[in-house]
Amino acid sequence: MKRIILAEEKKAGEWDLEFEEEKKPDICPVCSAEIYEGVLVFECPFCGNKMHARCVQPWIDERGTCPICKRPLLQKA
Ligand SMILES: [Zn+2]
Ligand SMILES: [Zn+2]
């Protein structure tokens, strides 16, 4: 009896993990927080990484490159 309950609990846990991974939100590489829907998101046209616009904006303003792939995002005037 006990054994069966334990097995069921483990199965449920594994399923939960898979399910969570499936719908895992993107992680902002700048602040390492999850990117929820509805916030302003910057998506790099080169590497496709997504990050919070407000996190990456200062970096882009300063360096003009993607913080992940380092490709130029701004033409320097
Ligand atoms: Zn962020
Ligand atoms: Zn990039």
- Residue 33 sits in a domain whose CATH number is 3.30.40
Q: Which two tokens stand for residue 22?
A: 């499936």
Tell me the one-letter amino acid at 44.
C
- For residue 30, is it within any domain? yes
Q: Which residues constitute the domain of residue 48? A: 2-63
Query: Is-contact 41 35, C-beta < 8 A?
Result: yes
Neighbours of ion ligand 2 (CB under 5 A): 44, 46-47, 66, 68-69
**Does residue 49 form part of some domain?**
yes
Examine residue 74 and state whether it is found in any structural domain, yes or no: no
Confidence class of residue 74 from pLDDT cuts 50, 70 and 90? confident
How remote is the CA of residue 39 from the centroid of ligand 1, in Å?
10
Per-residue pLDDT tens for 21-65? 566 789 999 999 999 989 999 999 999 999 999 999 999 999 999
* Residue 73: inside a domain: no
Q: Whole-model pTM?
A: 0.63
- Torsional sign, CA 4, 18, 25, 56: positive
- Taking the centre of ligand 2 as the mean of its atom positions, its distance from the CA of residue 30, in whole angstroms, is 12
Q: How far is the CA of 14 from the centre of ligand 2 (A)?
A: 33
| Ligand number nearest to the C-alpha of 58 | 1
Counting the structural domains of the chain, the total is 1
**Is the residue at 32 inside a domain?**
yes
pLDDT in tens, 6-16: 555 555 555 55
